[in-house]
Structure 1
């Protein structure tokens, strides 16, 4: 088998609930190996990411570029592919669309974290940032948690309105809100997926909130105010996606938090009882090639 998946075929092969379950299975698999990713700065201010990963059967390399200002060119910020190999024979078995996998596996990771950690999952869901990740998280929380109501905040009114229309097309109740900080008081589920060029949220979330913070995946990026992060560390539970977040979790690092002392999603999966406590939950997602390997495993199964 040597299949090149179109973006639509890649999405069809990766339904969010099944992908979240495959990610959980990967976290329990002792044969998974994920070296540190290589990030090469590009002349125009973007980055090239080279991200390998393998288990006993499947090996992948994710090759994508991230160009923050590509919207001004009418181009997506993330472009590239995921090359999938048979780990035994070395034969290439599939080529997956990189941006589609990135969007869906990131949202599926947040979905898994919410399944395991959210004090309540009924919503409303507040999404701050109405781009690709906003759309994928909307779909993931709707299909995976049954969320029926979403509030959308974005610097771009047109983008927020488009995401609201998409939510309506899924049969959800949805509204565009201008003040994300004010909306926090009404939403026990929060996803921040902005471009993370500056602080977007300065207010404490609810004490029964689950927050998936996605936008800031480098030390210099930030979405949440440092004082809010420090309050969350004192009053709630902070969890990071992987140990790579120790040097990538911009929100937490800029707040002076010792990220290396925080539990990871794998810790939660392996010993959920140890992570239970009262108060808000802040899940910091930075990305990892293991999530792309999980997506490749699921696509090959399907």
Structure 2
């Protein structure tokens, strides 16, 4: 029976621990296939993105429309759905709320990286960006790491205050900071999830820092200063979410670094890139395989009809 899940129902099917387990399973499954995404220009300046992925049991398609002309109209510029099919029969099994899937699986990917790579996983945590991704990362890290304290930085004071208040409902001590660089020098865990239209962190960072940079996913986008990226390369290590990030990681490309030289999360999970000493920069750009993992998790978590 096919099901159409709204945002709250989709979120309930993607709790952090099972979702992280599903991510690991996808990375270890030789049956997983993730074809290159299709980007089709649309009349009026928009774009249609089609991101497929499949395994031996299901096939998914993440469908995204990006319509810049919607800005200021009350209609969202980005609209997303994730459709899940039975690979054997072709029957549609699920339609998941795309923005919720994107937020939950991106945060779970960062959590997985932090669990495997962070020199210190107890924080304090700095979240730069108080939007959907900031909230998802806060919730995932609070659920999967021994956090006690979080600092929030945002372009808007109201957004930062709202996310800090939410953090307190999760049992965390939370404060709003005006200077993310000053907080960076104090925090062992950092997440940047901004629109990536300008540098938000310049450094310096701690020698035991773990930074998950998720906002920039094209060569022209940036959140981290080039000097900070090069510092991580020299003093510690840089890990990518997937090989696709080698062509998309604007932070690294604008720093003059060669992303092909860096390990990926699959290498880490396979044991070929064990945690070492020094600071870690985890650069995440996204991948339809993560959406496949979310679909697997949702099917397992979905209550019986």
- Aligned counterparts of 2:142 and 2:56: Cα–Cα separation in 1: 33
Superposition deviation, residue 80 in structure 1: 1.7
Alpha-carbon spacing, 1:77–1:105, altered in 2? closer, same or farther (3 Å)? farther
Superposition deviation, residue 224 in structure 1: 0.3
Alpha-carbon spacing, 1:291–1:64, altered in 2? closer, same or farther (3 Å)? same
Alpha-carbon spacing, 1:92–1:121, altered in 2? closer, same or farther (3 Å)? same
- Aligned counterparts of 1:30 and 1:230: Cα–Cα separation in 2: 34
Alpha-carbon spacing, 1:5–1:117, altered in 2? closer, same or farther (3 Å)? same
Match in the other structure for 2:199: 199
| Superposed counterparts of 1:203-282, under 5 Å | 203-271=203-271, 274-282=273-281
Match in the other structure for 2:49: 49
Q: Which runs of 5 or more structure 1 residues have no equivalent in the other structure? A: none
- Aligned counterparts of 1:70 and 1:130: Cα–Cα separation in 2: 22
- Aligned counterparts of 1:147 and 1:70: Cα–Cα separation in 2: 39
| Superposed counterparts of 1:17-32, under 5 Å | 17-32=17-32
- Aligned counterparts of 1:250 and 1:46: Cα–Cα separation in 2: 22
| Corresponding residue SS for 1:101 | helix
- Aligned counterparts of 1:132 and 1:177: Cα–Cα separation in 2: 19
Match in the other structure for 2:118: 118
Q: Which runs of 5 or more structure 2 residues have no equivalent in the other structure? A: none
Match in the other structure for 1:300: 299
Match in the other structure for 1:142: 142
Alpha-carbon spacing, 1:129–1:294, altered in 2? closer, same or farther (3 Å)? same
| Corresponding residue SS for 1:256 | coil
Contact kept, 8 Å, 2:116 with 2:275, in 1: the verdict is no
- Aligned counterparts of 1:68 and 1:241: Cα–Cα separation in 2: 27
TM-score (norm 1): 0.95
- Aligned counterparts of 1:146 and 1:44: Cα–Cα separation in 2: 48
